């Protein structure tokens, strides 16, 4: 009985009503899609802040997760300051004929030095 009423209502829809329903469904779908993207991005970015330096990471990724300029890290490992390498760190170490661990230590030292230089001096009154 109720199904018959729904079918009658569907048959009575005009073109304009179908267009409005389609637009509503499109907007609801886009809203759901972007909500999921924002939630995933937020969860991902919180999990990867201060992530340990791994071989699959690029210089740019390390700079972003540790909030350090790319130029600082490039200089530390011997790349041109203005380059934006998308190459994994393990491949960079291999191309420079050194171990990944050595590269990792240099990046870590550069991050620590940069942060130390950015800290305001605290002390007594002069």
pTM over 0.85: no
Domain ranges of the chain: 2-47, 59-118
Selection from 107, 41, 98 nearest residue 69 by Cα: 107
Q: Which long-range contacts (CB under 8 A, 24 or more apart) does 76-82 make?
A: 76/106, 76/107, 76/109, 76/110, 77/103, 77/106, 77/107, 77/110
- Give, for all 126 residues of the chain, the pLDDT tens digit: 677 777 777 777 888 988 999 999 999 999 999 999 999 888 877 666 777 899 999 999 999 889 899 999 999 999 988 787 789 999 999 999 999 999 999 999 999 999 999 877 665 554
Q: Looking at the DSSP assignment, which residues form a beta bridge with residue 58?
A: 88
Q: What angle do CA 63, 67, 70 make, to 5 degrees?
A: 35
pLDDT at 56: 93
């Amino acid at each position: 009985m109720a199904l018959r009423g729904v079918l009658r209502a569907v048959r009575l829809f005009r073109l304009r009503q179908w267009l409005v329903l389609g637009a509503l469904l499109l907007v609801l779908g886009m809203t759901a899609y972007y909500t999921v993207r924002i939630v995933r991005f937020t969860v991902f970015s919180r999990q990867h802040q201060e992530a340990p330096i791994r071989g699959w990471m690029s210089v740019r990724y390390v700079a972003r997760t540790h909030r350090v300029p790319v130029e600082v890290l490039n200089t530390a490992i011997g790349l041109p300051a203005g380059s934006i390498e998308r190459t994994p760190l393990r491949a960079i170490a291999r191309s420079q004929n050194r171990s990944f661990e050595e590269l990792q230590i240099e990046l870590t030292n550069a991050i620590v030095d940069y942060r130390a230089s950015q800290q305001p001096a605290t002390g007594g009154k002069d």
